[in-house]
Amino acid sequence: MADSNKNPGTADGCCSSAIPKKSNNRDPPHYQKQARSSMDPQTYQLIEHVLVDQSLPAEARIVAPEKSLTLFNLQEYIDRTLDAVVTAEKAAEVSTTEGRLGCSEVLFENSGSARTLAVEPDRLGVSSLSNFSSIRANCCVYKGKWIYELMLGSKGVMQVGWCTINCQFFQENGVGDTTDSYAYDGNRLCKWNVKTQRYGESWLTGDVISCAIDCDKGTITFFRNGKCLGEAFNNVRCGPGYAYFPAVSLSMSENVRANFGAIPLRYQVEGYKPLQDPPHLDLVQAQILFCYLENLLPVMVEEESERKSWSAEKKDLQPPALGDTRSRQCNLLLVAAHLFNKLATLLKSAYIVEACLLRFMLKVCDAESCLSEQPYISKLLDTMWTLMQDFELKACLENLIITLLTAYRFSPITADFKYPRMYLSLTLAILKHSQTRHHLLSHVLFDKIKFPVFLHIKPPDDKGLIEIVPTVWWPKVKEEGTVLQPQTHKEEEDKQAYLVSCEQLKNKIEEIERLQVEMLKVLLIHDDKKEPQGKTSRDLFLEKFRAFLKENAGTRLHPINTCPLPVSLCFFHRLIQALRYYWDFYAQQDTVKFLPSSEAYMPICEFKKPGRDNLDFQRCGGLLSHLQRTLSDGEGSKTKKGHKSDGNSGSRSNSNDCLESSVDPSCAEIPGDATLTELLDGVVTLYHIATHKQLGKMSALRDNMNEFINSLIDTEEKLAKCPDDAQEIKYELERAKSVFEEKISELGRQMAWVIAVIYSKTKQIDVAWIFRVVLKTIEKASAHEIPFQFLPEFYVDTCINSYNALKNYFHPTANFFDIPDNFDLSHKFALFLTRHFSDNRIVNSDLRDNITQALACFACFPYSLEVLEDLPLESKKSMMHYLTAPYDNRSWAQTNWILVRIWKGCGFGYRYTHLPHLVPSKLQTTELGVASLQKPCPSKVFQDLLSEMLREDRERAIRFLDTMLSQLNWSFSEFIAIMQQIQQVVSKTEPWFIDTRQLKFCATCFQITISLLRVVEMIVSISPEFFTDYSKSSSELLLTRLIQLLCQILNRIATRNGMFENVISLPLPGMEVVTHYPIVAATVGILIRLILSSKDPERRDSRVCNVLLSEPLFQINSLNFLLGQDECAEIDVTTYKKQFNLREISQVNSEEIKQVEDLIEYLQNEIDNKSKQQKSLKDEDVCAICYANPISVIFDPCGHKSCRNCITYQMMNKKECFYCMTPVTSVRDIESNDVDVTSTAAAAAGKVKPSSNNNTEDK
């Protein structure tokens, strides 16, 4: 069995060996006395203590000294001792090559796998580049018991095990899919040998999977982190012709690292041998030498401590004369030199480093006081730098750090987090050594390994979480978002126990995090420059950090080569802690020159430096090279605040010099040290490229848990209502309840980890700080015209994303309203959105759309809407001014949605968060996410402001309304056209198929139509005079166009058994939102506000009614349809469908139903009255263009005739006759012979003009 209780990284067994014990004959007393007289007593005692002390293990005293040991014969004694233990080891050695064929160094084969697998240079680590890739080792076994280990770098689909040379693997077939291959897949919990069976435990990233084969018994067994998973196969074919290779098959982006025996196995299994022989002879020699070193090192530390204290007391101490006795320090160094004469060569081996050096260092490192100085580690490293050659030391240090990282990644996670704390303590102690730190930063930490992995904390598996969080509790949340309090005493106890477990877990994690932050503080030391032209640790770290960002921000690398998102998230948080520490340190040193970290921001002048553009991020004003060419001359000549540049002012011969020498107020500000501002810029970049993505992924866990909780609540309600005689149904409900409870318990424990590690209060403060930084940076940059254009675009994205993370990811786990100054943050964020969503200095339209979308989401929540309402009046007017800009030649869909949110809750039946026939699911969410499902929160403040601004600039308002009606006409026409195409397809007898993209476009056009109708409804309500003030020529035109559109909608939608009703009855994916209610409610709401503006029938505006009744498309039956009173439609009993009726819609109240009834009654009375007065027209008196209205006007000079409506619309586009194409100079009324004002006004430039340039971006 595997020894799962003993981690191989511990310090036990440094000097253990199976060497026979020999007698230790001492020199005669008289010889010893002679040696003592010729040598310093302190030196003699030192050598006796180090090499021949009785406390040493027996194998270290295997050879008796032929004479008393001195510094002159010490090396001879060490050589004889090592030779003796090697001879004894050889005598006891048993051959381990029997039953194995292949190279002595076991590696993965790399032939034929270059295209599908990425093999690391040492040929032990592999990553998949295709859907399913396979590789095997260069060694096979046919007899005996063998084992190898796989350290998992991911947790996806992988099949690991053994195969024969005859197994052929392809893209779809891997290890276990052929007759003589056997595999285990911990992702799918099964074992594979052609057919599959359930087996094993679920594996996680950081697990160690041991694959063991017994060729004598024909069995294969797998182990996870030293725990046996049971015998997987007992029918493995063995004998002549059968030899088994280690082999793995990986799906896309999965990666593993194998240990065939090049380093000690992390989990030894009794009776099984590694495929690669360990260096036994070197190992026993190293163990003896480390036994000696274990005695020597405390003496060296003690001597150094005494010397430092003595030097502090006697500062004028002079070095000893050359003829005097050697100092104790010199003697210690001489003894150490003899040891390292042999040890230095051995420490080039990775096996020796892990088996001996790492264990020795762990033993002498005090993990309990990890943040304090570690004198033993420091002295050991000093000695190694003194006594080892460069090539030996560099190889040793590289192997040491790689071994440390491997041990940290793949050590088991216990409830006390002992192993992570132990390895991090040692790593910190090593990094505190200045010379070692410089070397590692220059050559190892970012070049040979991924240093940020040291800053990640591996989560426990499910069993570990059960031990850490034994009791699980989960909050029950209603659909409206309210949290239910515990109903019983047990629930309250479970809640308290769960919260206590989360708090205890958080405290343990914070201990680990403090170690990791301290490591970064050490790497950011700024006063350890060794040479005048040398670099400090901080300089080296910033160079590597910038290269790290460039590597992970680009798209050229395959995802397997980039830093994992969970690691980047931890890296981000630790960097912020270290950065803020040093930032505040500088501020305390010079309060006048530097700001505290709470007021930190990026100086704008830093963005103008060409060297900062090494990540290929675009700036707000375009590419840096473009800005340097086009803005240099403009900045040199005009530096006034608010100056606008079109980018065509020319350039100078040296734009960089011009940029640096130009007068810029922003460059005079220095918020912090230059190296820290560079680090701050890197932290913002890191949030943009990785951190925000991981925070979003973690929120999915909470959303998934909430879905299960809602399902559990629903099941419990059904179970309570289930009658006692329905036993079968009751059984199924109870079974479903148990499944939900089990899944919620699992997710609840995982959520405890998220609460303690991801969404903790300290992490929320980190993200809030970076949000403040970028917000203040943008605010500073925005005050200057040209510097703002140099601002990287990702600063704007980070500002939006970090606020979204605080509001939607951390909240409610870490409450947003607990953040200090949360209202001030929201207020500044609102100012940022309102200032920049229409900022022409931002050249990227996608970035402006992102800001507009953020503003639309911001306006959806009551709290943030109040923040918008509290903005200064000028900011609110500026926002509304852009929102009411004409809907041509600009992106208008999202700005229109903002106007919809301002109105939602005030319109006819417009109080729903989701459509009545659907549930609020992910299928309904738009690109605005959960913001689209928020409760209505109309803003009377913005409605009044909108009304005021429309009245102040009437011509601009008319243009806005005209273009809005044009877009409404376009969107509804496109919607109907696609619906007709769908009907034609489904009417065919053969099988039909409709492209989902076409269905999505159809639903989008429908939703755009509804949103435009709602904005029209709002304007008709707050400013009806734009349609009803007949003293203005534009009012009649706008009213007529609007009435035509409304009649067109009613004719197409409000018809029984029509095209619309037939299509929406089909089960088409993505068309769930297309239904009668939303569009007819908006349409009838406009009609009610136009016609029934006064409750008194005598005071109602009859002219609106006349325009409606005179519209040829209007049919009173379309309004009767809304109340289920369509009398014209024939009802087919065989295909009867439930008829639409507003009375059955819960969102429509009784008052609104009464309004619809009054509207129908009023219009019916007007129709009856008009029919009594109406005279029949002769054919020659009817307009030849529309065949609906009587001829009423005549054109000059050609004399042709038509109705007023037709010529009015014609004059808006072309000032020429319908018939003869003659230019029309004037239009006269036939009866009065006066010039027709309406048509003439339509022909005038700048009044009402239909939009011919539809915005293709929104379409």
- What is the residue extent of each domain of the chain? 29-90+280-311+326-449, 100-274, 949-978+995-1173, 1179-1243
Q: Which neighbouring-strand residues pair with 133? A: 250
Under CATH, domain 100-274 is a member of which superfamily?
A: SPRY domain (2.60.120.920)
Cα distance between residue 342 and residue 346, in whole Å:
7
**Which pLDDT score is estimated for 114?**
57
Mean pLDDT of 464-487: 78
Cα distance between residue 1025 and residue 1023, in whole Å:
6
**Which pLDDT score is estimated for 772?**
96
What amino acid is encoded at 798 in this protein? T
Max Cα-Cα span within the chain: 150
Are the C-beta atoms of 990 and 1000 separated by less than 8 Å?
A: no
Beta strands 145-152 and 483-484, pairing class: unpaired
Q: For the chain, what is the mean pLDDT?
A: 83
Cα distance between residue 1235 and residue 130, in whole Å:
77
Give pLDDT tens digits for 1041-1061.
899 999 999 999 988 888 898
Are the C-beta atoms of 362 and 407 separated by less than 8 Å?
A: no
- Give Cα 485 distance to the centre of its chain: 32
Task: Name the residue with higher pLDDT: 665 or 699.
Answer: 699
Mean pLDDT of 428-453: 93
Q: Which residues contact 1162 (CB under 8 A, 6 or more apart)?
A: 1091, 1092, 1097, 1100, 1105
Q: Is the pLDDT of residue 157 over 60?
A: yes
Q: Which residues contact 804 (CB under 8 A, 6 or more apart)?
A: 854, 857
Give pLDDT tens digits for 872-902.
999 999 999 999 988 877 788 888 989 999 9
Among 86-95, 105-114, 634-643, 1117-1126, the minimum mean pLDDT is found in: 634-643
> Considering the entire predicted model, what is its pTM?
0.86
On the 0-12 / 13-18 / 19+ scale of CB atoms within 10 A, 1058 is middle
Q: Is the pLDDT of residue 487 over 90?
A: no
Domain 1179-1243 = CATH 3.30.40.10: yes
Q: Is the pLDDT of residue 96 over 70?
A: no
**Which pLDDT score is estimated for 229?**
94
For 92, other C-beta atoms within 10 Å of its C-beta total: 12
**Which pLDDT score is estimated for 671?**
74
Give pLDDT tens digits for 1197-1240.
898 888 877 887 777 777 888 888 888 888 888 877 766 555 55
Among 221-235, 661-675, 757-771, 855-869, the minimum mean pLDDT is found in: 661-675
In DSSP notation, 794-853 reads HHHHHHHHHHHIIIIIITTTS-GGGSTTHHHHHHHHHHHHHHHTT-TT---HHHHHHHHH
- Confidence class of residue 54 from pLDDT cuts 50, 70 and 90? low
